[in-house]
Amino acid sequence: MKIAVLCHSGAGGSGVVATELGLEVARAGNEVHFVGNAVPFRLQGSSGANGPYFHQASAFAYALFDQPFPELAAANALTEVIQEHGVQLTHAHYAIPHASSALHARSITGKTKVITTLHGTDVTLVGAEPAFRHTTRHAIQQSDAVTAVSQFLADLTLETLNVEVPIEVIYNFVDTQRFVRVTDPAIRARFAHPDEALLLHVSNFRPVKRVEDVVEVFARVASEIPARLLMVGDGPERSRAFELAQQLGVIGRVHFLGSFPDVQTVMGIADLFLLPSNKESFGLAALEAMSCEVPVVAARAGGIPEVVEDGVTGRLAEVGDVDGMAHAALDILKNRETYLRMGQAGRRAAVEKFHPSLIVPQYLAAYRRVLGKG
């Protein structure tokens, strides 16, 4: 099969999943072409002579226009890729702008099918915005097939956008060979002493991630046991989290690492992962932590309960319940048996439920069905 992929290029969950999927699909013997304004974060250095390939969508500045048109630029670049490489199917990760771009290219060429994967904020944020509601619904309705990364997101899309097409749930996956426990004490010693618990949060630091709650939970934990916190990522809420750490007197034990490229290593040395988001359609970072045998303390929000099993692979609390999350964190960290049991259960779940060998074939089957080959 010849497949084009439209996705966000940053380190967010949807871009990571889209890139990892594209790499797996290429390894399965298919021709994969990424189209976008920048090389996807996880694609950098990963392509070989047999692809995947990347095609730049050109920017255009003109005084008459107040802002650029990334959707049209992507549609134009995709059109050229379809015509030049005979692309049969376009996989759009996100309804707006990517599915709209793919549908536009399909209309121009009449040669590509479109599968749209919904990742979350394309429905919960963009789709909920009146200025984009109709275009989001249209992008979903006109796709040849639609998938969502959790049952929560599929149900929410049907309910809030009143779409009339079936939505197949295909969970995200994790590379369980890359995300593993790191046992080298020298690596862990860069961030914490042997007697300190090492807590971790990874996100894009948007308001939905509630990074101040992460600091609040950590401060409560650190008041009872020796501990340190790694904050990986960057975004608009970083400065607020930094200021709160100063106010709570824990700034000396909190490390803001920015967009740390070697995220699997810090995952592998952590003792506990914190994810207090108020909206999370899946929770890929939590799954990556689970693959590294790291228990998760998270909010009971969105699709998180489909990934983190309360009492088995971690603990769930209500959104904003920092006391409950801190209590759960301390309970796990103080009880070695609980900590090991949850870590091992998380690793089993990653391997038995979210392994690429289980998830990627579901996407390939969807591709074949759309192309009439399944």
For 135-191, give the DSSP string: HHHHHHHTSSEEEESSHHHHHHHHHHH---S--EE------TTTS-----HHHHTTT
Q: Is the pTM of this model over 0.85?
A: yes
Confidence grade of residue 249 (pLDDT, cut at 50, 70, 90)? very high
pLDDT of residue 19: 87
DSSP string over 26-95? HHTT-EEEEEESS--GGGTTT-BTTB-EEEEPPP---TT-SS--HHHHHHHHHHHHHHHH---EEEEESI
Q: What is the pLDDT of residue 260?
A: 73
C-beta neighbour count of 103 within 10 angstroms: 22
* Cα gap 270→58, rounded to integer Å: 41
Residues linked to residue 230 through DSSP beta bridges, in sequence order: 200, 255
Give me the mean pLDDT over the 122-136 stretch. Answer: 71
Tokens of 218: 């950590």
Q: How confident is the model at residue 73 (pLDDT cuts 50, 70, 90)?
A: confident
pLDDT at 261 (0 to 100) = 72
pLDDT in tens, 159-173: 888 888 999 999 999
Residue 350 tokens read as 């990653």
- For the chain, list the domains and their CATH numbers: 2-173+355-370 (3.40.50.2000), 185-353 (3.40.50.2000)
Residue 39 has a pLDDT of 77
Per-residue confidence (pLDDT) for residue 64, from 0 to 100: 45
| Higher pLDDT pick, 72 / 250 | 250
Structure tokens at 299: 């909010």
Residue 92 has pLDDT above 60, yes or no: yes
pLDDT at 331 over 80: yes
Strand order of the β-sheet with 197-202 is: 254-258, 227-232, 197-202, 272-275, 296-299, 314-317
